[in-house]
Structure 1
Amino acid sequence: MSADALLPLLKSTFGFDHFRGRQSDVVDRVMARERTLAVMPTGAGKSLTYQLPAVALDGCVVVVSPLIALMHDQLRGARAAGIRAASLTSVDADGAETRQRYRDGELDLLYVAPERATGEGFRALLEAKTPALFAIDEAHCVSEWGHDFRPDYRLLRPLLDAFPVVPRLALTATADKHTREDILFQLGIPDDGLILAGFDRPNIRYAIRPRVTAARQLVEFIAANPGPGIVYCPTRSGTERLAEQLAKATGRRVAAYHAGLDAEVRSRVQHDFVASEDGIVTATVAFGMGIDKPDVRFVAHAALPKSIESYYQETGRAGRDGDPAEAMMLWGADDFAKARMRLSELPEARVPGERVRLNALAALVETVECRRAQLLRHFGESPPGRCGNCDNCLDPAAQVDATVLAQKLLSAVYRTGQSYGAGHIEAVLTGRSDERIVGRGHDKLSVFGIVAGDEARLIKPLVRTLVAREALETTEHGGLMLGPSARAMMKGEAPVLIAEPPVKRTKREARGGAGAGAANPIGDPLFDALRSVRRELAAEANVPPYVIFHDAVLRAMAIEKPATLDAMGTIPGVGAKKLEAWGDAFLSVIRHF
C-alpha cells in the first residue's frame, strides 16, 4: 500500500489532507517493508511517519525512544488522535497489562526505552507476537560521532537482526554526513535507505550577539517574544540565578531546571512548562530531548553551546508547530577559552574532532554573512546566500578589515609578557597611563598609545574574534597569550575581517518588530476565547493545551468561523477523534461571536 493510498486515513486520524515535505517518501518505504533512515528537521512531522503506518499495518509498531518524558508526551498526542498506544517504562505501573495488550493485538504503538528494548524479557515478548515495524527515534544516539551518543543504542542491532523481516525506520533531526553514515552502518540500513529531508527551519529567526550584560539582553529579548520559551545556561547555579532575575524583571513565570534538582522538582517544572502557554524555563542541556512541545516561541542561549549540532537541536525546540519563532545566542571570548581548556580533559583521540566542531562554532558566531547559510552548509547543504530571516540578513553589518589592528593587539600581548587581561592590553594600546602600566614600564613599550579614534572601539570585538580563532588563548589566571593561529596573523598571511560593532539602539529598535508572538492574534476576542476553552478542556483531560489543538488550528477557526462540525472537520489538524471529543465545545464558543 502506497502513501497516497493512506491519504483518507491521514485525514481521518490526523486531520491533514496531504503529506508535508518528505513524509510520503518515508511512509512509502515503511509500507514497502524497507529499511530507512529519515533525517528530517524538527517540526517536519517525523512521528507521523510511524504513527500513520501504526494505524494502517497489522500488528504493533515498536518505538525506541531515549527519554521517558518524550515517550509520554508522544503517547498523549497519539491517544488524542485515537491511536491505541502504550509505553513500557520504569514509571509505568501498568506494565503487565501493557504486555498482555501487546500479546492480544490491542496496541498500535508501543514505546520503549533502549535499555529495556535490549533485555531478554522484551525480546521474548516480541517473539510471542512479531512487531509490524521498529522505529528508532533520536537515532543519532547510536553514533559516537553524534552529539548525544548513548551506549544502549549500540545494543539495539542484535534485537533488530533477530527479526530480519521486520522493517526498521531510524529517525533524527541532527546528523552531519559522518554521523549519517555511522547510523546506517550501526543499524543495518543500506545506503540507498537514506532520506534526507534537509535541515532548514525557515520559521526560526536566528540572531547571535556578543554578550554584554546577559540578564538585560535576555529581558529585552523576552519582552519582544510572548509565549513559552527556553533559556539555556552553561551552569546549574546560572539557571537558578537567571530564573530569579528574569522573573523579577519580566513578571513572567520562570523556573530553573538542571540535573542537580530533585527528580520530583524536575518533573514538576517540565510538566508545568509543557502545559503552559507563556512559561519560561532557564535550563542546562539536561532539559533536552524530552521536550516535545510544539508551541515554544523562542530559545535563547546565555552562552556558547557545545557544538553546532547541539545548537541546531536546541534551537530546533522552537517553532515545532511551524509558526514564527526566534533563536538568540549570546557569546563571549571566555566561552571559547573555557571550551578549549576542556579539550585537554578529553581522550586524545577525540580532541581533533572536537576542535573541528569548536572552530565551526567560531565561524558561525563570527560571520557577517547569512547565519542560516552557514548553519546549513555545515550539514552539507547548498543554501542560497541570504535567507532574509537572520540578524545578518535583516540588519547587515559592515565588514571591517582589522588585520593591522590585530597585529598591533597581538604584538601588545607579546611585548607585555603574555600574562595580562584584555583591559590592560587595551589600556596600553590606547595610551591610558595608570600606576600599574607605569610600574611595569609598559608606557615605554613601542605599542603604547598606537591605537586611537575609531580604531579603539574595535579592540573588544577583536579580542573575542581572536580568541574564537585561536590566535589568542587565556592563561590560568585570566591573562591573554598567543595561540597557534597568531603567527600567521602577525606576519600578515591571514587577513582578519570583523563585523562593524553596532551603534547602541533604543529598546524599541532592538526588539525589531513584533517578534515571534505576532503569529498569534492575541487580543482578538474570538482567538482568546478559543484558547480559554482549550485550557479548560486540557485541564479536564489532564493533557497540555497543544494536545487538544495547536494554535494554528485555533487561528483557522477564528478566521473561518465554522458553523457545523462538518465544516470544522475540514480545518487542517482536526481529525475525527478530536472532532468527536471537543468539536462541540469550540463550536459553542464560535457561535457567540
Structure 2
Amino acid sequence: MPEKEQIYTTLKEYFGYDSFRPLQEDIVNSIFSGNDNMVVMPTGGGKSICYQLPALLLPGVTLVISPLIALMKDQVDGLKANGIQAAYVNSSQNEDKQQEIYTQLQEKQIQLLYIAPESLSFIDNLLSQIEISLIAIDEAHCISAWGHDFRPAYTQLGYLKKRFNDVPVIALTATADKATRKDICEQLNIPNAKLFLASFDRKNLSLEVRPGNKRIEQIFDFLEDKTEEAGIIYCLSRKTTEMLAEKLQNQGFNAEAYHAGVAHEKRALVQENFINDTTHIVCATIAFGMGIDKSNVRWVIHYNLPKNIEGYYQEIGRAGRDGLPSSTLLFHSFADVIQLQKFATTSGNHEVQMAKLDRMKQYADSLSCRRKILLSYFGELIEKDCGNCDVCKNPPSFIDGTIIAQKALSTVVRIKEEEPMGTIIDVLRGAQNAVVIDKGYQNLKTYGIANDISWQDWQQYIIQLINQGYLEIAFHQNNKLKLTQRSKKVLFEGEKVSLANLAEFEKIKETAAQQIKQRTANTLFDKLRELRLQLAKEAGIPAYQIFNDASLKEMEKVRPMSDEEFMQISGVGRLKMQNYGYLFIKAIIDYSSEKTKKKKKPAKNKGNSFKETLNLYQQGLSIEEIAEVRKLAQSTIFSHIMKLYNDGEDIDLHTFVAKEDVKAVRVAKEALDNPDTLKPYFEHFEQAMDYNTIKLALAILEKESA
C-alpha cells in the first residue's frame, strides 16, 4: 500500500486538489487493501477519482466498464489533459486505432482502459496478456432490474470477479436504493464488498415543484435572468423537445433539441456545442447528459414528471457540479402520470416501476421539505428542513401529528412490517375486507383505532411519514412498509411529529420566481471564462476540462499573481500549471491593472449609458446589434429605448414592431377591456407574441390616443 504522502502528492500533481472529498480517501485506501467496494455517491460527488487515483499507483492496468461512448471519450480526454495515460476501446474506432491501443497496453504505456460491456468479448485474449490491477464498474445500477436504467449487456459482468479473483472490484453509481445496492453486489459476485454511501445532500441545488399549467410561460419567466447560463430541460417525448426548442429560439434563447430521432452527427454537434458553452440550453429526452461531465450547468427543468426518484435525482444532479448555487424546477400534471403508467405497463418489472412512479408523484405533491424526501429515499435522514426548496420557502401550516404517527407506526409494528400502505390503512380504519380477515388482523390492538380519519387523509399522512423518514417502502418486497431508526424515537422516546394541515393540500401554492442577482458584465470571472473558451477551442476540448467554474471563481477571489499562488488554487495540477498558468496569471494581472486605471478616472453618470444607446440607435442599429456592441443584455437595451421614448427623444417605435402587431394589440386591448398588466395580452395571443412586442405596441397606442 502506498504511503499517505505519495497518495496526496499524486492527488495534487494530477488532479490539482490538496485534500479529498468525504469518503474518497477511505475508498482509495480500501482499494489498496484489496477489498471489493460498492460506492454510492451523488453526481458531482467525485466518484471517478476513487479509481483513477489508485490506477496511477497500482502496477498494472485499471479496467473501467462504462456504458456510453460519449462518457468514455469525455473521461479519457480529461485524464489526458491532466497528464494521465488513458485510452478507450469502442465501436467508434477503426481496427488500426484499436490495434495501436492493444500494443500500448502490452507495452505498459496505458494506466486506465475504458470499455463498454458489449466490447469485452473482443479483448478477451488481450486480458490474459496484461496485468489487471483494478476493475471499476461505472453506472453500476445498469446491472439491476430494480434500478432505474437497466441494461441487459451489464448482466454479463459477473464473470469478471470469477476470472480475476484476486483483483479488487469497485462498483460505482450515483443513485441506488437498498434493493438495487444488494442486487448489484450479488450479480457482480462481490457479496462482501465494503459499502460506501456518500451524503446525497447537494445543498447548492434549490428544489422547486410547480403544477404543469402554462409551462412554457413559466419557463420564460424562470429563464428571464438566466440568459447566459447553461441549462437542460428534460421532456418525456421527442416531439416536446422539438416544440420547446423552437419556442425558446423564437424568444431569442440559444436552444437546441436532443433525442434519439436526431441524426447522430447533429446529436454529437449539439452535445459538443453545449459542452463548449456555444449552446446554452438543450431540450432533451433522458438520453442526454449521462455522458457529460460539464460542471457549470446552472439549472435543470423537468417539463414532465420523471418516472422515478432515482432518475430525477440523477438528472437534477447534472446542475451545479462545481458546487455553486444552481436551480431545479419540476412540472407535474395528471396527464404525465397517465402517460408514465402506460410506459410502466410495458416494463419487465411492472409492479416495482408503478410503485416507484407513485413515490415520485408523492414527492411532487408533498407538503414536506423536498430535500428530506430525496435523502430519506436513499436512506439518509436529516433532522432539520433544508430552507432551500419551495416548501421550506412557502411552508404550509402544521398540526401536532404525534398521535396520528404513533397509531400508524404501532400498526406497522404489530403487522410485523409485512404489508403495504393500503393494508395498514385498512387495519387503522377497521376494514372488513378479505386481506384483513384472512390474516387475522381484526384481532390486532390497533384495528379500527382511527376510523375517524378518511382513507384518503390517512394516505396523505402516511406519505408524509415516509417523506419525513419515519417509514420506508421496500420496493423489492412488494412495497411493504418498514420502520426506520427515527420510528423508535416516536414510539419510545417521546419525539413529536408535525404533519402538514391537509386542508391546504389541494391549495395551489404560488411560488415567486427566485430572484438571482445578475452577474455584472466584464468581471474578472468573465475574462477568465473568455480565456478558457479560447484555449478550449484551440485545443479542441471542452472548456471545463481546462478549469471548472469553481476554480475560476477561486481565481477571481484570490487573484494569484505568481506560480506558487496559482498552484494553491483548487483544481490546478502540475500539468495544468505548465500549460495554462502563465496565461491565466497574465489575465489576472492585466485585469487588476485595468481596474486600477479606471478608478482614477471620473465615473460616468448613468445618463451617458442612455446616450450611448441613443447614438447607436440613430446610426440605424437594431436592439440586437446595440446589445452586441454594448455588451449588454437585449432586455437592458429595450429598457433604454423605452426610457428614451418616454423622455421625448425622437424614437420611432415602429422600427421595432410590425404594424400588424400594433393592430392586433389594439383589438386585444378592446376585447380585454384595457387590462393593467401585460400578462392578459400574452395569454390572449397564446404566447405567440412576446412581452416586449406587446409593450412596444401599447406604447404606440398610448401615444396615438394622447
What TM-score, normalized to structure 2?
0.67
**Corresponding residue of 2:234:** 232
Structure 1 residues 416-471: Cα deviation after superposition (integer angstroms, max 9, x where no partner): xxxxxxxxxxxxxxxxxxxxxxxxxxxxxxxxxxxxxxxxxxxxxx9xx9xx99xx
Distance 1:206 1:191, change over 3 A: farther
CA distance in 2, matches of 1:530, 1:36: 39
CA distance in 2, matches of 1:133, 1:11: 22
Structure 1 residues 225-270: Cα deviation after superposition (integer angstroms, max 9, x where no partner): 3411000111111100000111222x22100001011111111111
What SS class does the counterpart of residue 146 from structure 2 fall into?
Answer: coil
1:560 positional shift: 1.6
CA distance in 1, matches of 2:202, 2:572: 24
The worse-fitting range, judged by mean Cα deviation, of 138-147 and 190-199 is 190-199
1:108 positional shift: 1.2
1:354 positional shift: 1.8
What SS class does the counterpart of residue 511 from structure 1 fall into?
Answer: coil
Question: Alignment partner for residue 98 of structure 1, among 98, 101, 107?
Answer: 101
1:111 paired with 2:109, answer: no
What SS class does the counterpart of residue 109 from structure 2 fall into?
Answer: coil
**Corresponding residue of 1:245:** 247
**Corresponding residue of 2:334:** 333
1:301 positional shift: 0.5
1:323 positional shift: 1.4
Counting only pairs closer than 5 Å after superposition, residues 6-85 of structure 1 correspond to structure 2 as: 6-85=7-86
CA distance in 1, matches of 2:267, 2:291: 12
Structure 1 residues 318-347: Cα deviation after superposition (integer angstroms, max 9, x where no partner): 111111111110011111122234444445
**Corresponding residue of 1:353:** 352
What SS class does the counterpart of residue 248 from structure 2 fall into?
Answer: helix
Structure 1: which amino acid aligns with 2:4? D
Distance 1:175 1:2, change over 3 A: farther
1:501 positional shift: 3.6
Structure 1 residues 503-548: Cα deviation after superposition (integer angstroms, max 9, x where no partner): 767xxxx322217xx6xx5525322111111111101110111111
CA distance in 2, matches of 1:12, 1:125: 31
1:143 positional shift: 0.6
Equivalent residues of 2:561, 2:589 under 8 A apart: yes
What SS class does the counterpart of residue 47 from structure 2 fall into?
Answer: coil
Distance 1:72 1:498, change over 3 A: farther
Equivalent residues of 1:15, 1:573 under 8 A apart: yes
The unaligned stretches of length 5 or more in structure 1 are: 401-461, 470-494
1:137 paired with 2:138, answer: yes
What SS class does the counterpart of residue 47 from structure 1 fall into?
Answer: helix
**Corresponding residue of 1:258:** 259
Structure 1: which amino acid aligns with 2:293? D
CA distance in 2, matches of 1:528, 1:358: 42
Largest Rg, 1 or 2: 2
Equivalent residues of 1:80, 1:547 under 8 A apart: yes
1:288 positional shift: 4.1
1:357 positional shift: 0.6
Q: What RMSD over aligned residues (CA atoms) do the two structures have, in Å? A: 2.2
Counting only pairs closer than 5 Å after superposition, residues 267-278 of structure 1 correspond to structure 2 as: 267-276=268-277
**Corresponding residue of 1:418:** none
1:376 positional shift: 1.2
CA distance in 2, matches of 1:556, 1:543: 22
What SS class does the counterpart of residue 306 from structure 1 fall into?
Answer: coil
The worse-fitting range, judged by mean Cα deviation, of 383-392 and 568-577 is 383-392
Equivalent residues of 1:140, 1:148 under 8 A apart: yes
1:367 paired with 2:366, answer: yes
Structure 1: which amino acid aligns with 2:201? D
Equivalent residues of 1:399, 1:500 under 8 A apart: no
Equivalent residues of 1:4, 1:24 under 8 A apart: no
Structure 1 residues 270-301: Cα deviation after superposition (integer angstroms, max 9, x where no partner): 11111116610000112141122111111100
**Corresponding residue of 1:511:** 513
Equivalent residues of 1:228, 1:295 under 8 A apart: yes
Structure 2: which amino acid aligns with 1:293? K
Distance 1:343 1:64, change over 3 A: closer
Structure 2: which amino acid aligns with 1:236? R
Distance 1:365 1:2, change over 3 A: farther
CA distance in 1, matches of 2:189, 2:119: 20
Equivalent residues of 1:399, 1:499 under 8 A apart: no
CA distance in 2, matches of 1:503, 1:317: 27
Structure 1 residues 50-75: Cα deviation after superposition (integer angstroms, max 9, x where no partner): 11111111111111100000111111
Structure 1 residues 457-510: Cα deviation after superposition (integer angstroms, max 9, x where no partner): xxxxx9xx9xx99xxxxxxxxxxxxxxxxxxxxxxxxx95544645767xxxx3
Structure 1: which amino acid aligns with 2:248? L
1:214 positional shift: 1.1
Structure 2: which amino acid aligns with 1:27? V
Equivalent residues of 1:397, 1:502 under 8 A apart: no
What SS class does the counterpart of residue 132 from structure 2 fall into?
Answer: coil
CA distance in 2, matches of 1:266, 1:278: 12
The unaligned stretches of length 5 or more in structure 2 are: 400-456, 465-500, 593-706
CA distance in 1, matches of 2:321, 2:173: 14
Structure 1 residues 385-429: Cα deviation after superposition (integer angstroms, max 9, x where no partner): 4011111112224479xxxxxxxxxxxxxxxxxxxxxxxxxxxxx
What SS class does the counterpart of residue 269 from structure 1 fall into?
Answer: helix
1:2 positional shift: 5.5
**Corresponding residue of 1:308:** 309
1:45 positional shift: 0.5
1:396 paired with 2:398, answer: no
**Corresponding residue of 2:553:** 555
Structure 1 residues 130-168: Cα deviation after superposition (integer angstroms, max 9, x where no partner): 211111100000111111111111101113321111111
Structure 2: which amino acid aligns with 1:550? N
Equivalent residues of 2:221, 2:513 under 8 A apart: yes
Structure 1 residues 86-145: Cα deviation after superposition (integer angstroms, max 9, x where no partner): 11011124111111111100011111001112x0x3121111012111111000001111
Structure 1: which amino acid aligns with 2:513? R
Counting only pairs closer than 5 Å after superposition, residues 573-592 of structure 1 correspond to structure 2 as: 573-592=571-590
Question: Alignment partner for residue 542 of structure 2, among 535, 544, 562?
Answer: 544
Distance 1:77 1:136, change over 3 A: same
User: Which stretches of structure 1, 4 residues or more, deviate above 6 A after TM superposition?
Assistant: none
What SS class does the counterpart of residue 287 from structure 1 fall into?
Answer: coil
Structure 2: which amino acid aligns with 1:81? N
1:48 positional shift: 0.6
The structure showing larger relative contact order (alpha-carbon pairs under 8 Å, at least 6 residues apart) is 1
| Aligned-residue identity in percent | 41
CA distance in 1, matches of 2:380, 2:333: 28
Structure 1: which amino acid aligns with 2:297? V
CA distance in 2, matches of 1:179, 1:252: 40
Counting only pairs closer than 5 Å after superposition, residues 147-546 of structure 1 correspond to structure 2 as: 147-225=148-226, 226-249=228-251, 251-276=252-277, 279-346=280-347, 350-398=349-397, 497-499=503-505, 501=507, 510-514=512-516, 521-546=519-544
What SS class does the counterpart of residue 134 from structure 1 fall into?
Answer: strand
What SS class does the counterpart of residue 128 from structure 2 fall into?
Answer: helix
Structure 1 residues 549-582: Cα deviation after superposition (integer angstroms, max 9, x where no partner): 0111112112222121121011111000000011
1:12 positional shift: 1.2
1:4 paired with 2:4, answer: yes
CA distance in 2, matches of 1:257, 1:234: 12
CA distance in 2, matches of 1:496, 1:362: 17
1:202 positional shift: 1.4
